[in-house]
Amino acid sequence: MNKKTVRDVDLRGKRVLMRVDFNVPMKDGAVADDQRIRASLPTIRYVLDQPASLVLMSHLGRPKGGPDPEFSLRPAAEALANLLGRPVTMAPGTVGTDVERFAAELRPGDVLMLENTRFEPGEEKNDRALASELAKLGDVFVNDAFGSAHRAHASTEGVARLLPAVAGFLMEAELEHLGAAVSNPPHPFVAILGGAKISDKIGVVRNLLAACDRLLVGGGMANTFLAAKGFDMQASLVEAASIQLAKLILVEAADKLILPTDAVVADKFEPDAKSQVVEVDQVPKGWRVLDIGPKTLDRFAAELKGAKLIVWNGPMGVFEMPRFAEGTIRLARVVAESGATTVIGGGDSASAVKQAGVADKMSHVSTGGGASLEFLEGRVLPGVAALQDR
Ligand code: ADP
Ligand code: MG
């Protein structure tokens, strides 16, 4: 990785301003799922152990550019205090003289949580004045919020231009694992793409095709490719507007692209739909493809054998419905047991590997849905670009 991390700077006695992703689900004024908070603990503990003091900031939800108790980060601060076993002080706002006073009083080992960065209208505009207000609160900036790095906001990009800026451990892990997929991957490198639409991921398809040895395509995305090959996909999700592009990719990447040969089809888009396995050229009139079939799964498993790197984005079927989850769940197990370095990107894909019970067996499950997709497209993420080079 070519970006500096917390290990590359001397943090002893410093005040560290750190961007985390505490955009967690809340229920009845408490944190409903603390996974994202837990994910930031290694960096938080490392900073506090230097010892340094810590000022944490994050966005939460979509408040309308002003303070709103419903979107307060106080519950997140409480959850963090419990996890850390030390007090976390809640700041009286995001920036301003009162907040600066709190920050000035911090001693090494102390933690201050700022209010939701989106309480400030300048946050999403990457307002320079807001970034300088934030920069007053720390000596060094640490970004551990990979999931927000694709947005050039004041708390991600703006402030990084004003303070020495380095990556936290979570950010580092994301950049290393996703980075392996787009630059210098070990071979054989097999990529798996699925999910609902090609149009969302056309950049990812192209970028991965350039880097990988094989691209296995399932999910709704496969339907458009199959339609481009001339099969009648009936009521399946097919993006008519992407068929021309799919044809082009089929020609360019004929030797790399592997499509389903059989599928689980359903008479309606419902959990209790009638279903059967058919060849992809035999979709019954008015039915739709909702999962890959067993032959396809075997083929995909065979392609994954011996792979050194597997990158997977997008479920193989409508895994939210148990009847159409099998392709995704089984493939997750194959990937987990492949012995390859395994990298999972995408929000629904992360849920799917969790549902399959194999999230812990993957080398890396990305925490950043949109950010990981943009990264896999080969785009430069502004929040990453602003960090110091090594
Ligand atoms: P990720 O969040 O991992 O990037 P996507 O959001 O692209 O994944 O796609 C996930 C969605 O794709 C799921 O909601 C799933 O139900 C849907 N999907 C997968 N296969 C099909 C299919 N054959 N037909 C319709 N929807 C599908
Ligand atoms: Mg999704």
| Protein residues with C-beta less than 5 angstroms from the ion ligand 2 | 347-348
- pLDDT of 65 over the 80 cut: no
Helix (H) or strand (E) holding 208, with range, is helix 202-211
The closest residue, in CA terms, to atom 25 on ligand 1 is: 220
Q: Say which CATH architecture domain 6-172 belongs to.
A: 3-Layer(aba) Sandwich (3.40)
pLDDT one-digit tens code per residue, 275-333: 999 999 999 999 999 999 999 999 999 999 999 999 999 999 999 999 999 999 999 99
Q: CA-to-CA distance for 155 and 117, rounded, in angstroms?
A: 7
> Residue 254 has what pLDDT?
87
Residue of 261, 350, 248 whose CA lies nearest to 303: 261
Q: In 3D, which of 166, 161, 137, 118 has the Cα closest to residue 55?
A: 137
The β-bridge relationship of strands 214-217 and 309-313 is unpaired
Nearest ligand to residue 350 Cα: 1
CA of 195 to the centre of ligand 2 (A): 7
Question: Which ligand 1 atom is nearest residue 347's CA?
Answer: 2
**Cα–ligand 1 centroid distance for 310 (angstroms):** 19
Amino acid at 111: V
Q: Would you give the DSSP letter of residue 90?
A: E
CB atoms under 10 Å from CB of 68, counted, come to 15
164-190 residue pLDDT tens:
999 999 999 999 999 988 888 999 999
pLDDT at 370 (0 to 100): 86
CATH class entry, domain 185-376: alpha beta
Report the separation in Å between the CA atom of 346 and the middle of ligand 2, taken as the mean of its atom positions.
6
What is the rounded radius of gyration, in angstroms, for the C-alpha atoms of the chain?
A: 23
Has residue 239 got a pLDDT over 80? yes
Claim: this prediction has a pTM higher than 0.75: yes
Among candidates 128, 131, 121, which has minimal Cα distance to 68?
121
CATH topology identical between 6-172 and 185-376? yes
Alpha carbon nearest to ligand 1 atom 21, residue: 220
> Which ligand places an atom closest to the C-alpha of 372?
1
Active site residues: 36, 197, 347, 370
Domain ranges of the chain: 6-172, 185-376
Query: Which protein residues are within 6 Å of ligand 1, measured from CB?
Result: 194-196, 200, 219-220, 237, 289-290, 313-315, 317-318, 320, 346-349, 369
- Which tens digits make up the pLDDT trace of 187-205? 999 999 999 888 888 889 9
Instruction: Tell me what percent of the chain is helix, strand and coil, each rounded to the nearest 5.
Output: 40, 15, 45
* Residue in 318, 323, 328, 354 to alter for ligand 1 test, most ligand atoms within 8 A of Cβ: 318
Q: Which atom of ligand 1 is nearest to the CA of 313?
A: 3
Three-state SS for 81? helix
The pLDDT score that the predictor gives to residue 290 is 98
Mean of all residue pLDDT scores within the chain = 96
Which atom of ligand 1 is nearest to 196's Cα?
A: 12
Pairwise CA distance, residues 175 & 4, whole Å: 12
Note whether 375 and 346 are within 8 A (CB). Answer: no
